[in-house]
Amino acid sequence: MTEKKAKWIWKYGEYEIYHHKLLMCRRQEMGCDYPGVIWRIAPNEVSVRFAAKMHALTDTTLRIVTHSKGMAYFGDRKYPVNEDLFFPAGDYEVFVMLYDLEGFPSCFIDSEYLKTDESWVDMSFDLPDAPVACEPAFYSPDDNPAVFPFSYEEVTPVSVTETDGGLLYDFGKELFGPVTITEYPENEGVRLTYGESKEEALDYPEALIWENLRPGFDPVRPGRAFRYIHTQSDSGCPVKLCASYEYLPVEDIASFHCEDETINKIWDVCSYTFHLNSREVYLDGIKRDRWCWSGDAYQSFWANYYLYFDPQIVKRTILGLLGKPPYYTHINTINDYSAYLVAAVWDYYYATGDAVFVKRIWDNLKSLYAFMTSRTNEKGYVVKRDGDWIFIDWSEMDKEGILCAEQILLWNAHQVMGRLAELMGEDSSVYGASAAQLKENIMEDFWEEERGLFYDDKADGSRQITRHPNIFAIMYDFVPEEKVKRIAESVIYSDRYVQITTPYFKLYELIAMCKLGDFEKVQDYIRFYWGGMLEQGATTVWERYDPEATKEEALAMYGMKYGTSLCHAWGSGPIYLLGRYCCGVAATDVGYRTFEVRPDFGRFQEIRATVPVKDGVVKVHLENGRLEVMATVPGGTLVYGGKRYKLSANERVMVEAS
């Protein structure tokens, strides 16, 4: 008993729902709170009932520590929370009944014979009994699970300059964190203008984030994105501040080093960008939108598995995005984003083998899937219904017709649901049948045999050809090898169709190229696109980059002079591409029970890389015409130069580079 460690407990999912909710309301722009209101933010449950048994061998005292309100039954007597309670030796059935109107109900007991931990049972709402949830960060009576456990590091400005009637702080690189105003004239208004760029910090009120503080303000300002901060007071007296870097303490497992210093720099900048966007859940960007988007998160999950392999943030993000039924709209209102979320659950399970998580969200996921399929047309196609946002990509295309790319995403969702249903011990045949029927329809209606490509229907019934469904057909293994080759030739490597310009969809295209075995092209593109940003002084990856754009054009977006996010998670694609396709590490069974290392080094001659797998890493070392591969866990196979080599745990395999 004594070696058990007490932890704060709560209803499963409520911690994640709560912190997602706060995050979705924390965006601020132009001095205004800018809550996420375009889709429903799932609220927390109000009340809970947790149960346990206490076998007190001696008289005992304990205290139910909570930030919520409520009481407990020990046997049939009621006891208050947050008071020292005495119990004579004996056996007790314990029920803790809590409500919370602001946070979410949670409590903590650490006594000789009763400790809160995962063994407690959530009996709220007469739902089937379920284990309560805990997080390792909350294990002391002084903790509060409503406060997210970020880490903090003080940061020092590289320069402080008097300009524009105030002081301009430059912290040398993009940051996120709270700022404390340390010196300011009393009884005066103070203004802080935050800038990802210097231009932005000096351009009140056009900058996206600023605040006009009135006398009596709290000198500790909430966490915000910035590299520059301009401070000024009404009278011109100097306003000084210090800043912290606020971050999620997850350590990189992966590393990548090659002979090309630009690529090495890109890796570092991608990693830093990705860490900045790794928070309670995955953000799209730390300045804008500061929201959690399923499509963005889908790519972040991949970067996760290939950078630091942290299942916790994936689960938090999925729980936040999935929210709670009923589903009135798609995830983020976007049809494709619902499909990505379903796909992400499979990816998570495949990477981690964590079937418990799938079980926890299974009912909600089925509700989402039921919502998705309830809105398809008579052929089972995704069509635009009231409230739907058919996104796919920012590309200019007719989105009012039936887009083939949406159908391939749905086909994948059918398949994933079938696999998950099997995992849950449920009948999967309906999902399989839906997938098969949909595939048949898609091939019939959208595949053009003559040219060897997929097209879309436009609203007027005519056809358009876009890269998107053709990329998905390769990425999701929708078509056999022979058709993959035709698509590559007719679309992927053709200049006839409008190019992908967003780094978001570009990642999918680069994946398709990797699958085509053309890593060289991907390598060149990374150097050109990400390298181009670095040349322009980027310290984090931008939401969007156009080598031809002026600085002004680069910074503006959505009709706002500084609308572009200069620190966007989806810019971290190279981490995934380098680990997954260059080093070629990929699970071939659930939870990396088996995995392959199938490198495609392109033009690289020297590589020293570490790629995470579940509970271990794969080390890849290419140098002087020799390839060395070592995995710290069993189950691996090196596939290289047309041969297969078994990777035993911790044993190096060395082969000649081909």
Query: Which residues, in sequence order, are bridge partners of residue 618?
Result: 611, 631
A 10 A CB-CB count for 530 gives 26
Question: 377-394 as b/e, with b when 16 or more CB fall inside 10 Å?
Answer: eeebbbbbeeebbbbbbe
Contact segment (CB under 8 A) with its own copies among 320-328, 432-440, 561-569, 619-627 equals 320-328
Closer residue to its own copies (CB): 27 or 468: 27
Tokens 């314990």, residue? 94
Using CA atoms, how far residue 591 sits from 346, 349, 582, in Å, is 11, 7, 21
Among residues 52, 62, 65, 97, the one that binds its own copies under rule CB under 8 A:
97
What's the closest the beta carbon of residue 108 comes to its own copies, in angstroms? 17
Judge contact between 567 and 174, C-beta under 8 A.
yes
Question: Taking CB under 8 A as the rule, which mask of x and - marks residues 100-129 in contact with its own copies?
Answer: -xx---------------------xxxxx-
Closest CA to 600 of 618, 581, 587: 581
501 to 560, contacts with its own copies by CB under 8 A?
559
Among residues 116, 273, 317, 329, the one that binds its own copies under rule CB under 8 A:
329
Question: Taking CB under 8 A as the rule, which mask of x and - marks residues 337-376 in contact with its own copies?
Answer: ------------------------------x---------
Is 70 a binding residue for its own copies by CB under 8 A? The answer is yes
Distance between CA atoms of residues 130 and 45, nearest Å: 15
What's the closest the beta carbon of residue 368 comes to its own copies, in angstroms? 12
Among residues 5, 53, 55, 78, the one that binds its own copies under rule CB under 8 A:
78
379 to 438, contacts with its own copies by CB under 8 A?
386-387
Among residues 71, 220, 498, 639, the one that binds its own copies under rule CB under 8 A:
71
Is 84 a binding residue for its own copies by CB under 8 A? The answer is no
What's the closest the beta carbon of residue 344 comes to its own copies, in angstroms? 22
Instruction: Name the strands in the sheet holding 626-631, side by side, starting at the edge strand that comes first in the sequence.
Output: 255-258, 607-613, 616-623, 626-631, 653-656
What's the closest the beta carbon of residue 293 comes to its own copies, in angstroms? 15
Closer residue to its own copies (CB): 33 or 84: 33
Closest CA to 112 of 168, 149, 67, 61: 61
Closer residue to its own copies (CB): 371 or 525: 371
Distance between CA atoms of residues 184 and 219, nearest Å: 9
9 to 68, contacts with its own copies by CB under 8 A?
21-22, 24-25, 29-49
Distance between CA atoms of residues 341 and 452, nearest Å: 30
Contact segment (CB under 8 A) with its own copies among 78-86, 150-158, 188-196, 244-252 equals 78-86
Tokens 């392999």, residue? 309
What would you report as the CA-atom Rg of the chain, rounded to the nearest whole angstrom? 27
Closer residue to its own copies (CB): 24 or 319: 24
Site residue total, its own copies (CB under 8 A):
52
What's the closest the beta carbon of residue 326 comes to its own copies, in angstroms? 5
Closer residue to its own copies (CB): 24 or 577: 24
Closer residue to its own copies (CB): 65 or 613: 65
Helix ranges (H only) for 375-488 are 404-423, 429-446, 467-475, 481-487
Is 87 a binding residue for its own copies by CB under 8 A? The answer is no
What's the closest the beta carbon of residue 93 comes to its own copies, in angstroms? 15
What's the closest the beta carbon of residue 119 comes to its own copies, in angstroms? 20
Closer residue to its own copies (CB): 292 or 578: 292
552 to 571, contacts with its own copies by CB under 8 A?
559
Let me know how many helices (H) and strands (E) the chain has, helices first: 15, 32
Closest CA to 258 of 623, 632, 519, 631: 623
What's the closest the beta carbon of residue 552 comes to its own copies, in angstroms? 19
Distance between CA atoms of residues 429 and 286, nearest Å: 42
Angle between helices 519-535 and 503-515 (to 10 degrees): 150
124 to 153, contacts with its own copies by CB under 8 A?
124-128
Closer residue to its own copies (CB): 41 or 243: 41
Q: Is the peptide bond before 326 cis (omega within 30 degrees of 0)?
A: yes
Strands 106-107 and 9-10: antiparallel
What's the closest the beta carbon of residue 389 comes to its own copies, in angstroms? 8
Is 636 a binding residue for its own copies by CB under 8 A? The answer is no
Is 80 a binding residue for its own copies by CB under 8 A? The answer is yes
Closest CA to 70 of 96, 94, 103, 101: 96
What's the closest the beta carbon of residue 208 comes to its own copies, in angstroms? 10
What are the phi and psi torsion angles at 370 (to 5°)? -60, -40
The residues, any chain, with a CB within 8 Å of residue 207's CB and separated by 6 or more, are 193, 194, 195, 200, 201, 562
The two structure tokens encoding residue 447:
């595949």
Closer residue to its own copies (CB): 24 or 620: 24
In terms of C-beta density within 10 A (0-12 exposed, 13-18 middle, 19 or more buried), how is residue 521 classed?
middle
Closer residue to its own copies (CB): 39 or 391: 39
Among residues 136, 326, 461, 480, the one that binds its own copies under rule CB under 8 A:
326
Catalog residues that contact its own copies under the rule CB under 8 A.
Answer: 21-22, 24-25, 29-49, 69-71, 76, 78-81, 97-99, 101-102, 124-128, 325-326, 328-329, 333, 367, 386-387, 559
